[in-house]
Amino acid sequence: MEAKLRTYTVGEVCDGFVYNELEGKGLYGLSGRLTIQPEYQRNYIYADGKKDVAVVQSALHHYPLGVFYFNMTGGNRCEVLDGQQRITSLGRFVTGKLAIIDDNGIPQYFSSLSTELQERILKTPLLVYECEGTEDEIRKWFETVNIAGVPLNHQELLNAVYSGEFVTLAKAEFSNSQNANVQKWSHFINGAVNRQDYLERALEWVSKDHIKEYMSQHRHDADISEMKTYFNCVIDWIGSVFIEVESEMRGLEWGRLYETYHNKAYNPAEVKQQVNKLYGDPYVKNRKGVFEYILGGCKDKRLLDIRIFDEATKRKVYQRQTAEAALNDTSNCPLCAMGHEANRKKMWKLAEMDADHVTAWSKGGETSIENCQMLCKTHNRAKGNR
Ligand SMILES: [Zn+2]
């Protein structure tokens, strides 16, 4: 990748500045050559009367404004990779959309400044790296550069690198807080629409977790129907299996679960009962695991993180078993005691034994002292594998 360092003045960059009040974004500069807010950029967030004013004050006082990065997109055109917020603040000031407060506490618009101060702002140099390179190069470079302000997250970076028609359409669907479906989706998806978390899930699901490849492949598509259809399939499938929404459903790996289980048949009424039963079970520590546990046919207990016996219980049961075993001259592991091998009379230490449910949890056995027995580690493991 090539990055040329050059300087523009504030006047040059703000020439032809257009600000979209409705969407709150700066659009163009450099006499139309510069796109200030390409589709991958987040909206203008400096318009708080502090950050935006600070940018203008910096120009007035010759304070450094930092480095800017432009991406050369061909035909002498470019777009802002980094610096969008600062340029928009300057543009809004120069075009009379923003006032600063002077030393006497009076709001001052650009037009009310002295010619000398106006000139000072317009002639302020901006240090710009103009970058040209392949997608991959720009992505790598983008990930290394320390972006000022709120750093772009992973999906925002990918949107930047693969910007084009596809990203524009995808964002209109999945990054649009006005989309009436967002409410429904938010039951299953974590994060924020405007930080691209929904778009990231949609891409992750349709691409089977190969987002980058998918975006690269579809970059110039004027159509997102494959992604949209797949996304809606996943969402509809969740709703058809689990008829009630639980807060723990939010943020699960629904794409993977759909791929693994969508060909299996479920009885939603039965599933609902299973969910309720597990939610009411005080020994289930991980409610997020309930859904995959049910989808998988209620086999993998590890997903539920079943509450285990505490140390005091284990010690009590160990003492009781060991005392009885000493009286009967047998091993304190009841399974060893029944055997015919060398361990028949072996007295295990507490550290050599594990706690076991006499009646398995999956068969309704409680994690209580009455249902606890200590087994030597070998026998406990053998029992656990059944
Ligand atoms: Zn044993």
Question: How far is 156 from 29, CA to CA, in rounded Å?
Answer: 22
CA 8 to chain centre: 37
Question: How far is 293 from 362, CA to CA, in rounded Å?
Answer: 12
* Ligand 1 center–CA 298 separation, angstroms: 28
Question: How far is 214 from 153, CA to CA, in rounded Å?
Answer: 18
* Ligand 1 center–CA 349 separation, angstroms: 12
* Ligand 1 center–CA 159 separation, angstroms: 59
* Ligand 1 center–CA 322 separation, angstroms: 13
Find the helix or strand (DSSP H, E) in which 35 lies: strand 34-35
pTM, two decimals, is 0.60
The CA-CA-CA angle for residues 135, 140, 144, to 5°, reads 145
* Ligand 1 center–CA 331 separation, angstroms: 8
Question: How far is 186 from 175, CA to CA, in rounded Å?
Answer: 12
pLDDT, tens digit only, all 386 positions of the chain: 777 888 999 999 999 998 877 666 778 899 989 998 876 566 677 778 888 899 999 998 888 888 898 988 888 899 888 888 899 999 999 999 999 988 888 889 999 999 999 999 999 999 898 888 777 777 666 666 644 445 667 888 788 778 888 999 999 999 988 899 999 999 999 998 888 999 999 999 999 999 989 999 999 999 999 999 999 999 999 999 999 999 999 999 999 999 999 999 999 999 999 999 999 988 899 999 999 999 999 988 889 988 889 999 999 999 999 999 999 999 999 999 998 888 999 999 999 999 999 988 888 888 889 999 999 999 998 876 44
* Ligand 1 center–CA 343 separation, angstroms: 7
| Residue given tokens 């809606």 in the structure block | 232
Question: How far is 87 from 9, CA to CA, in rounded Å?
Answer: 11
